[in-house]
Amino acid sequence: MLRLSVLDQSPISEGSTGSDALRNTLDLAQLADRLGYQRYWLAEHHGGPMLAGPSPEVLIGPIADRTSRIRVGSGGVMLPHYSPFKVAESFSLLSGLYPDRIDLGIGRAAGTDPVTTFALQRDRRQAGPDDFPEQLAELLAYLEDDLPENHAFGRLPKVLPGRPERPAPWLLGSSMQSAIWAAELGLPYSFADFINPQGAGIAAEYRKLFAEGRRLDAPEVSVGVLGICADTDDEAERLASSGRMMFSLMRQGTLVQIPPVEKALRYLEAREKRPSTRRAVIGSPETVRAGLEEVAAEYGAGELVILTNVFDHGARRRSYELIAEAFGLEGAYPQSTTASGFE
């Protein structure tokens, strides 16, 4: 059976605040837990007005504490910004508190613009090195206690706070290079179709090169997909207009909060000429189920991680409810279209 998960970027709707968006994230995670989604991943973005999630490792704990079953993790931690040992400590701690529920999705992208990337650096005398493969290897060595005995840091894996628990590592990406690294290291691989919809061949190469038995017996692929579901195809397309306006302005170098539907429809009717290069699965439950199954089949993926950014939080909740019902997830049932608050 196809597994379904959630990717949450903590979108900030026009007229609301980052605090509102973070509370919506906690609320949506509780809903996803009840509905039967497999995992709940938090994205990392910095320095923009429309997304309130710069620190997945900070959000994971409150979400895991408010849920009972769903796996919680990063989608992902942008490793170039951090010390591998600090990331290992943080996710070890989370794993100790919530055993067998924590995922460590690791990414290479900056998650922001060059100026903000520079502001994130501790040492600003020069640009940071491009040493992601070395960072990744060091991080995995800490988590797996696999540093040589004579290594200068050799004692550090043994004092990670959550031992013997540890997170499940994933490599995230949208390019052939990330697929090659994931295959060589024997890691599960999550491909961002919402960034690059031409990834089926990349996923196939990952399987071809996969180092069986190094960490997994067989390759494992999930796919991040833009998805919006409503009661009808027309209503889903209306909801999608907010994201289309935001993305159109972003291509022009303007960052805005998620605009309301009517404002977005006026903008798109007056200005939008260039078709979107992003794939999105949008429509009624029947349309979305067929579209998601088509994406999964294209990649040969056993899991989809669904990203839904719309203006109204109630509509976002309803989208995930309808998708859960369409796929018959355990726990799926009709819900109110408004947020229910925290439990």
pLDDT (tens place) for every residue of the chain, 343 residues total: 899 999 999 999 999 999 999 999 999 999 999 999 999 999 999 999 999 999 999 999 999 999 999 999 999 999 999 999 999 999 999 999 999 999 999 999 988 888 888 888 888 888 888 899 999 999 999 999 999 989 999 999 999 999 999 999 999 999 999 999 999 999 999 999 999 999 999 999 999 999 999 999 999 999 999 999 999 999 999 999 999 999 999 988 999 999 999 999 999 998 756 666 679 999 999 999 999 999 999 999 999 999 999 999 999 999 999 999 999 998 875 543 333 333 3
| Residue carrying the six token digits 């290069």 | 277
Query: What number of other Cβ atoms are within 10 A of residue 123's Cβ?
Result: 7
Residue 276: what pLDDT?
66
Number of domains in the chain: 1
Tell me whether residue 333 is in a domain. Answer: no
Residue 275: what pLDDT?
61
Residue 277: what pLDDT?
65
Tell me whether residue 339 is in a domain. Answer: no
| Residue carrying the six token digits 């909060």 | 257
Tell me whether residue 342 is in a domain. Answer: no
Sign of torsion over alpha carbons 144, 150, 151, 155: positive
Tell me whether residue 293 is in a domain. Answer: yes
Predicted confidence (pLDDT) per residue in 95-130, tens digit? 999 999 999 999 999 888 888 888 888 888 888 888
- Roughly how many angstroms between the first and final C-alpha of the chain, as a whole number? 30
Average pLDDT, the chain: 93
Predicted TM-score (pTM) of this structure: 0.93
Question: Of 1, 59, 9, which Cα lies nearest the Cα of 306?
Answer: 9
Residue 274: what pLDDT?
61
Tell me whether residue 116 is in a domain. Answer: yes
Question: Of 22, 86, 227, which Cα lies nearest the Cα of 94?
Answer: 86
What CATH number has the domain bearing residue 27? 3.20.20.30
Mark 161-197 as b/e (b = at least 16 C-beta within 10 Å): ebeebbbbbbbbbbbeebbebbbebbbbbbbbbbbbb
Residue 139: what pLDDT?
98
Tell me whether residue 340 is in a domain. Answer: no
Predicted confidence (pLDDT) per residue in 140-169, tens digit? 999 999 999 899 999 999 999 999 999 999
Tell me whether residue 143 is in a domain. Answer: yes
Tell me whether residue 335 is in a domain. Answer: no
Reading phi first (left if > 0) and then psi (alpha if -120 to 50, else beta), residue 339 is in: beta
Q: Give the domain range for residue 98.
A: 3-327
Residue 278: what pLDDT?
76
